[in-house]
Amino acid sequence: MPTISLCMIVRNEEKSLGRCLSSVADIMDEIIIVDTGSTDRTKEIAAEYGATIYDFEWIDDFAAARNYAFAQAACEYIMWLDADDVIEEIDRERFKTLKATMTSEYHAVSMSYILITDEHGKSLYSFRRNRLIRRDCGFRWTGAVHEYIEVTPPVLESDVSVTHKKDKEYTQRNLDIYRKMIAEGRPFTARDRIYYSNELYDHGFYREAVENYERFLSEGEGWIEDNIQACLRLADGHGALGNKQEQLLALCRTFDYNLPRPDVCCRIGFYYMELEQYEQAVYWFKLAPSLPKISEPGTEIYSASTWLPNLQLCVCYDKLGDHTYADFCNEISFGHYPENPSAIYNRDYYTKLLGDKHVEVNVYVPEEQKELVQ
């Protein structure tokens, strides 16, 4: 059984660190906490979980801090988390099984990173990250902000998930680091450019964000997933600025990089719904669940190919006066997501409206999909 060092960098995380460590402390062989300048109880909480604590002077460089943390590890594998991440109970059991069965042949182990959940804690938005890194491979972090670590095969794709429990508002920190890089004349990578654009958007600098997304796309150095995400955020920027035509063009621009995807089709459907062009909206919402699942690595928005488009088809057909088909679409949505309050409300509404004409529809949902969308 391989040994694992948990390595974390923290600063003023007294509200979330205990929650994180309590979810993983008993499945780690060593806990390394690198503190970059806390003024609250962060260190005390870390000590309660038996962590070895190091101080690291903050130099506006996340990769430098993570590399320092990794350098303190002594176990065969290194696990990394942020303070607002947790491993839920079902994934703790999966992690224990993984640890008991995995061999040292793997350079890294990837895990699903759940960013958005429904009210029942089920995943709605996730992507994969390399979470366990074999220490003797010497892989290093890169990037002052939104750092990443490149690994070489073989990589094991595990069934373990890490869940993000964001409890902080956006801060100026990342944006300030990027602006400092610009002021100092330090070159941006393609990754820097898209994340700088995201920071601009998140802080409400929509015009600057649009300009930088356009620059990122024009330079042509991003990988497919980043290009698609840049188009989607570009659409958001134009939407915030009231540029409706440019918003639609940015959404359609995703088709330059790959086949249509369910989440993009849903967003185009919402675009037409806002304009009350319901027949156009129906086309895109019908297309979304008919598309094949993408096998390439990247983000997955499970709702966009299951309950969400059918719920919106219900709204569209209701607006178009076809209550029977609106009821049918809601039944499909309900079948995928029975706990959805909107689908429950609609079911009650159409039962009263249609009487005997209301027909409940049985939807076959594979067990693995139930875990994702219910």
In the block, residue with structure tokens 């300048």: 37
What distance in Å separates the CA atoms of residue 118 and residue 215, rounded to the nearest whole number?
35
How far CA 25 is from CA of 32, 46, 133, 262, 269, in Å, comes to 11, 10, 18, 38, 45
Q: Output the CA–CA distances (angstroms, integers) from residue 237 to 151, 212, 226, 227, 369, in the order listed.
A: 33, 11, 16, 15, 32
Tokens of 292: 């094949």
Residues 152, 234: Cα–Cα separation, whole Å: 32
Residue 364 tokens read as 């076959």
Closest Cα partner for 135 from 42, 190, 72?
72
Q: What is the pLDDT of residue 366?
A: 59
Q: What pLDDT, on a 0 to 100 scale, did the predictor assign at position 130?
A: 97
CA 198 – CA 183 distance, rounded (Å): 19
Cβ atoms 275, 248 nearer than 8 A: no
Among residues 264, 313, 261, which one has the least CA distance to residue 292? 261
Phi, psi of 95 (to 5 degrees): -65, -40
Specify the pLDDT at position 297: 46
pLDDT at 294: 66
DSSP secondary structure code for residue 292 in this structure: P
Residue type, 178: Y
Q: Which two tokens stand for residue 28?
A: 């780690």
For residue range 186-242, list pLDDT tens digits in order.
999 999 999 999 999 999 999 999 999 999 999 999 999 899 999 999 999 999 999
Q: Cα(261)–Cα(254) distance, rounded to whole angstroms?
A: 9
pLDDT at 367: 55
Domains of the chain plus CATH, in order, are 4-164 (3.90.550.10), 170-258 (1.25.40.10), 262-374 (1.25.40)
Q: pTM of the prediction?
A: 0.81
User: Residue with structure tokens 């096998």?
Assistant: 295
Q: What is the DSSP letter of 242?
A: T
Q: Which two tokens stand for residue 122?
A: 């089920």
User: What is the residue-averaged pLDDT of the chain?
Assistant: 92
Per-residue confidence (pLDDT) for residue 292, from 0 to 100 = 82
Below-50 pLDDT ranges, the chain: 296-298, 370, 372-374
* CA 75 to the chain's CA centroid: 29
Residue 284 and residue 271: Cα distance in Å, rounded? 10
The pLDDT tens digits for 123-143 are: 767 889 999 999 999 999 999
